[in-house]
Amino acid sequence: MKAQITLLPGDGIGPEVLAAGKSVLESIAQKFGHSFEMQEYLIGGCAIDARGTALPEDTLQACQSSDAVLLGAVGGPKWDDPTAPVRPEQGLLGLRKELGLFANLRPVKPHPDLLDASPLRRELLVEVDLLVIRELTGGIYFGQPRERRSVNGEEQAVDTMIYSESEVRRVAHLAFKLARGRKAKVTSVDKANVLESSRLWRQTVSSMAGDYPDVVLEHLLVDAAAMHLLTRPATFDVMLTSNLFGDILTDEASVLSGSMGNLSSASLGESTNNLNQPKGLFEPIHGSAPDIAGQGIANPIGTILSAAMLLRHSLGLESEARAVEDAVQSAISNGYRTPDLGGSLSTSQMTEKIIAGFGVSKSEAVL
């Protein structure tokens, strides 16, 4: 297969972890006989420095015309002034909007050997394998009106939580479809006891259940979901939720896996790429980690697993994605760790250990 992949290293540890993702994709291409054309472009703080904007036009065009995008991270103290007219995260938000990426997928499956890295008791974590799907382009983050105004002599602020049926339906379809390849259960999270937009959300998701008779659907209020995510995380399979609730719950879910550095994400939309697969943006969930940037010690696993998601969702290469995921599992099982997981391997050493495990059994992968 021939595919075009846009690489966006970004800021801080972004370029360090992205180099790991690139090496993995190159090795997979070589092993499985594919040709991946990969080009790097600017985004975030480095783009502001070089071009005065967080999302330069050539970056956007490259993302639009390629089959998939792999991103490191954006931001850092240098660009943190909240009053600045241009900010690094505008690059990421702009890209999601321009590419119409309405669904954010975050898998959480702690490795058995890393259960003690989480603050939760290990017995709660043993069977955890969940996928949070967050609606990404609607809800209170984009609803209008959104403004400051003066009422009776005092300042007032308003945000609007708004969802239309079609916005709910398209992300819910994805949740039901992905649940079919997993444990066939969808937990839809809302606040239907209070919010009208949540009542529409629940009604819409419920009305779709008949199209997926093989998938179990349950509804949970967001306050209960936040609690159950910590008290019985292993009972969830696909957790579907809106933009605001998903923002909070995905961060909460990340503590189940021990280190932020381990977790991957995919943002998908309706548009398809040249391969007739969903176009997507793939990135680790962590930020630019300025405290360790430049030291070469960042954990590359989140980015490498994001590359696996890229192979699966945007290139349709399931075996290749599994080969990457299995190699990550083997490397951890064999005791290889970066400092955030209590080890001493550098980013590139960890990456080499993972690549060395492609297509070989666990015992052979011990180097």
Ligand X SMILES: NC(=O)c1ccc[n+]([C@@H]2O[C@H](COP(=O)([O-])OP(=O)(O)OC[C@H]3O[C@@H](n4cnc5c(N)ncnc54)[C@H](O)[C@@H]3O)[C@@H](O)[C@H]2O)c1
Measured from the CB of residue 73, what is the shortest distance to ligand X in angstroms? 4
Tally of helices (H runs) and strands (E runs) in the chain: 12, 12
**Distance of closest approach, residue 120 Cβ to ligand X, in angstroms:** 18
Q: Is 288 in the site for ligand X (CB under 6 A)?
A: yes
Tokens describing residue 83:
């009053």
CA 91 – CA 87 distance, rounded (Å): 8
Options 197, 257, 299, 306; binder of ligand X; rule CB under 6 A: 299
Q: Which residue is nearest to ligand X (CB)?
A: 287
Name the active-site residue from 22, 191, 279, 353.
191
Residue placing its CB nearer to ligand X in the complex, 10 or 204 = 10
DSSP calls for 81-129? -TT-SS-THHHHHHHHHHTT--EEEEEE---GGGGGGSSS-HHHHTT--
Name the one range near ligand X by CB under 6 A: 165-173, 192-200, 234-242, 290-298: 290-298
At residue 190, the 3 state secondary structure works out as: strand
Q: Which of residues 152, 153, 291, 363 is near ligand X by CB under 6 A?
A: 291
CA angle 117, 121, 127 (to 5 degrees): 90
Q: Catalytic: 247?
A: yes
Q: Site residues for ligand X, window 54-83 (CB under 6 A)?
A: 73-76
12 versus 278: smaller Cβ distance to ligand X: 12
Considering the rule CB under 6 A, would residue 101 count as an interface residue with ligand X? no
Chain centre to alpha carbon of residue 269: 13
Helix (H, G, I), strand (E, B) or coil at 278: strand
Q: In terms of Cα–Cα distance, which of 273, 236, 277 is closest to 253?
A: 236
Give residue for tokens 């090496």.
Answer: 23
Using the rule CB under 6 A, is 9 a contact of ligand X? no
From 97, 141, 185, 362, active-site residue: 141
Asked if 292 is part of the footprint of ligand X (rule: CB under 6 A), the reply reads yes
User: Is the CB of residue 132 less than 8 Å from the CB of residue 109?
Assistant: no
The reply to whether 260 sits near ligand X by the rule CB under 6 A is: yes
Residues with active-site annotation: 141, 191, 223, 247, 251
Given the rule CB under 6 A, which residues bind ligand X?
A: 13, 17, 73-76, 92, 260-261, 283, 286-292, 298-299, 302, 340
